[in-house]
């Protein structure tokens, strides 16, 4: 049936149905070791080199909880305004899959570490409160690679390989309550929520938070109910959506698809679905199991987790400023326009500018360097802005030289060349490359005389009172002095000499 479903236009969906969403986000923690063993977690190692009897599920191996992962889970829970359990357990979620060698996933079921929280997100000036049902701890599975088939799927593959390096890496799964009342903003609210979670995770420093590398993955549940009915329809769950834009598109597509089925008199199948980046569509995965099919039971090999209230209080004190509130504060402090702020965030330059300002530069000067000169260099070499090879302290140092008139913006670019080449501090580079602006009258005067001599017609115009013509002579002096002349002083000298 899915193949023949007509997609319904978004406006019509909104006119006839109320959407309900549920978002499940998996965050891969950046602990040094796995959730229940001491194996390293570094990304990109040779397959099956970061494994041990515990994460391979060998008989008799005993797991031990990673304290750092519990700490990160509690901090995430607190940042999401959750209650933190005084006592909770792990549970076995039983199902078979080749990349899960124990045939169960160690997770949490009815006793999550964090529960009953919320996160407020802004969409086009309107605030939506997303209620968090729970945030629980679990382990990641291994990774299967299907070889020989089309687009990496198991169907049609010649054989499959499995890498257990990822098996046992700690995950936090954050689950919302049904998100209702979003109407035509549903796709944007979903995107804003995932974006806000990512910002929070970055601010907490508990994960690499790279959606493109799968360290944050979103599952998008969607259902439609007849408009005004107040009910909840049957949901579909689109798995592992891995960019913010895809989250928005997946919601939009599923709304159109569900409406098509419902308006044709059909019923939506409760199932998991795959999202396709290339055309923004979803396709059927497997029928969704209900919780009872997993036969959850408490994990007998792990002691319960009972974080003391003192520890929770200590961790609460480590929480960073809420990222959304921080942006509002910084924009006000820096005097940036909405557009400047949006560009700053889009370029990933917020923290860099913050540190540059902290090192003494004016906000607009810091913004100018990071968003133009340094962004261009980062793009040219295909690296993140933070990895361009210049630190915020160095940018502030370059700007200080501009502020005191020792170099100008043009010469500053050569200082950045030197910084990236590792030639020392901005001060040292100016000295070694001889970049300092010349404002000594002796040197300038000779260059001005030479320019006047070479451009007699321009000089005559200035003598006749056409002061604007001085620009041409200033240009000539600058060229003569390789851009290092004090332009203001050169102008004064020209006007003095031709008065
Ligand atoms: Zn291990």
Element (H, E) at 363: helix 363-368
Q: Rg of the chain over CA atoms, in angstroms?
A: 30
Q: Where are the beta strands (DSSP E) in 291-377?
A: 297-298
CA distance 48 to 279: 34
What is the phi/psi pair of residue 411, to 5°? -70, -30
Q: In what order do the strands lie in the sheet with 114-123?
A: 83-84, 114-123, 126-139, 170-176, 17-28, 216-226, 236-241, 271-276, 281-287
User: 54 C-alpha vs ligand 1 centroid, how far in Å?
Assistant: 5
User: 71 C-alpha vs ligand 1 centroid, how far in Å?
Assistant: 20
Q: Where are the beta strands (DSSP E) in 255-307?
A: 271-276, 281-287, 297-298
Residue pair 353/390 in contact by the 8 Å Cβ criterion: no
- C-alpha separations of 61 from 141, 168, 265, 336 in Å: 17, 13, 53, 57
- In DSSP terms, which residues pair with 282 in a beta bridge? 275
User: 47 C-alpha vs ligand 1 centroid, how far in Å?
Assistant: 13
Residue pair 276/282 in contact by the 8 Å Cβ criterion: yes
Length of the chain: 499
User: 469 C-alpha vs ligand 1 centroid, how far in Å?
Assistant: 76
Element (H, E) at 217: strand 216-226
Q: Quick one: pLDDT at residue 329?
A: 95
User: 123 C-alpha vs ligand 1 centroid, how far in Å?
Assistant: 43
CA distance 45 to 163: 10
CA distance 207 to 173: 13
486: left (phi over 0), alpha (psi -120 to 50) or beta: beta
pLDDT by position in tens, the chain (length 499): 445 578 999 999 999 999 999 999 999 999 999 999 999 999 889 999 999 999 999 999 999 999 999 999 999 999 999 999 999 999 999 988 889 989 999 999 999 999 999 999 989 888 999 999 999 999 999 999 989 877 777 778 899 999 999 999 999 999 999 999 999 999 999 999 999 999 999 999 999 998 888 899 999 999 999 999 988 999 999 998 989 999 999 999 999 999 999 999 999 999 999 999 889 999 998 766 666 688 899 999 999 999 999 999 999 999 999 888 899 999 999 999 999 999 998 888 999 999 999 999 999 999 999 999 999 999 999 888 989 999 999 999 999 999 998 999 989 999 999 999 999 999 999 999 989 888 888 888 989 999 999 999 999 999 998 888 889 999 999 888 888 888 888 999 999 998 8
Q: Is 120 exposed, middle or buried (0-12, 13-18, 19+ CB in 10 A)?
A: middle
- C-alpha separations of 233 from 190, 225, 236, 259 in Å: 18, 5, 10, 11
Residue pair 460/472 in contact by the 8 Å Cβ criterion: no
pTM greater than 0.95 (yes/no): no
Q: Quick one: pLDDT at residue 482?
A: 84
DSSP 60: T
Q: How far apart are the first and last CA of the chain?
A: 89
Residues contacting 97, CB < 8 A, separation 6+:
141
CB within 5 A of ion ligand 1: which residues? Answer: 37, 39, 52, 54-55
Among 244, 385, 371, 417, smallest CA distance to 426 is for 417
CA distance 354 to 345: 12
Collapse the DSSP code of 151 into the 3-class scheme (helix H, G, I; strand E, B; otherwise coil) and give the result: coil
User: 272 C-alpha vs ligand 1 centroid, how far in Å?
Assistant: 30
Q: Quick one: pLDDT at residue 155?
A: 79
Q: Report CA torsion sign: 385, 389, 393, 398.
A: negative
Residues contacting 158, CB < 8 A, separation 6+:
147, 148, 149
User: 27 C-alpha vs ligand 1 centroid, how far in Å?
Assistant: 19
Q: Quick one: pLDDT at residue 499?
A: 81
CA 104, distance to chain mean position in Å, is 31
CA distance 74 to 360: 36
What is the phi/psi pair of residue 239, to 5°? -90, 150
CA 494, distance to chain mean position in Å, is 53
User: 171 C-alpha vs ligand 1 centroid, how far in Å?
Assistant: 15
- In DSSP terms, which residues pair with 283 in a beta bridge? 274
Residue pair 39/53 in contact by the 8 Å Cβ criterion: no
Q: Quick one: pLDDT at residue 290?
A: 63
- C-alpha separations of 381 from 393, 398, 420 in Å: 21, 21, 12
User: 164 C-alpha vs ligand 1 centroid, how far in Å?
Assistant: 9
User: 449 C-alpha vs ligand 1 centroid, how far in Å?
Assistant: 78
């Amino acid at each position: 049936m899915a193949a023949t479903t007509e997609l319904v236009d978004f406006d019509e969906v909104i006119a006839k149905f109320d959407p309900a969403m549920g978002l499940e986000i998996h965050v891969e923690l950046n602990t040094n070791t796995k959730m229940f063993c001491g194996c390293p977690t570094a990304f990109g190692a040779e397959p099956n080199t970061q494994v041990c009897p515990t994460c391979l599920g060998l008989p008799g191996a005993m797991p031990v909880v990673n304290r750092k992962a519990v700490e990160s889970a509690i901090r995430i829970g607190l940042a999401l305004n959750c209650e933190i359990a005084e006592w909770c357990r792990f549970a076995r979620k039983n199902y078979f899959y080749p990349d899960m060698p124990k045939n169960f996933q160690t997770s949490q079921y009815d006793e999550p570490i964090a529960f009953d929280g919320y996160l407020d997100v802004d969409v086009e000036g309107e605030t939506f409160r997303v209620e968090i049902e729970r945030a629980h701890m679990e382990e990641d599975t291994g990774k299967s690679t299907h070889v020989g088939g089309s687009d990496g799927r198991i169907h049609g593959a010649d054989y499959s390989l499995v890498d257990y390096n990822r098996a046992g890496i700690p995950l936090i799964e954050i689950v919302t309550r049904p998100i209702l009342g979003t109407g035509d903003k549903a796709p944007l609210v979903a995107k804003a929520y995932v974006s806000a979670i990512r910002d929070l995770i970055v601010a907490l420093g508990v994960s690499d938070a790279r959606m493109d590398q799968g360290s944050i993955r979103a599952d998008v549940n969607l259902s439609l109910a007849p408009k005004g009915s107040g009910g909840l329809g049957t949901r579909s769950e689109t798995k592992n959506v891995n960019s913010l834009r895809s989250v928005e598109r997946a919601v939009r597509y599923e709304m159109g698809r569900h409406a098509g089925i419902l308006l044709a008199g059909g019923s939506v199948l409760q199932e998991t679905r795959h999202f396709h980046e290339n055309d923004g569509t979803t396709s059927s995965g497997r029928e969704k199991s209900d919780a009872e099919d997993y036969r959850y039971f408490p994990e007998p090999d792990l002691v319960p987790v009972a974080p003391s209230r003192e520890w929770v209080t200590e961790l609460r004190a480590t929480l960073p400023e809420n990222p959304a509130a921080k942006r509002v504060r910084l924009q006000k402090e820096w005097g940036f326009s909405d557009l400047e702020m949006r560009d700053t965030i889009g370029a990933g330059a917020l923290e860099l500018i913050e540190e540059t300002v902290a090192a003494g530069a004016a906000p607009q000067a810091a913004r100018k360097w990071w968003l133009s000169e340094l962004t261009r260099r980062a793009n040219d070499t295909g690296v993140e802005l933070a990895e361009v090879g210049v630190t915020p302290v160095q940018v502030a140092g370059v700007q200080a030289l501009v502020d005191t008139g020792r170099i100008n913006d043009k010469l500053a670019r050569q200082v950045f060349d030197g910084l990236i080449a590792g030639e020392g501090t901005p001060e040292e580079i100016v000295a070694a490359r001889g970049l300092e602006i010349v404002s000594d009258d002796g040197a300038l005067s000779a260059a001005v005389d030479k320019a006047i001599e070479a451009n007699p017609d321009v000089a005559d115009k200035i003598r006749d009172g056409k002061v604007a013509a001085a620009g041409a002579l200033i240009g000539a002096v600058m060229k003569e002095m390789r851009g290092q002349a004090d332009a203001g002083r050169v102008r004064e000298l020209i006007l003095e000499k031709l008065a």
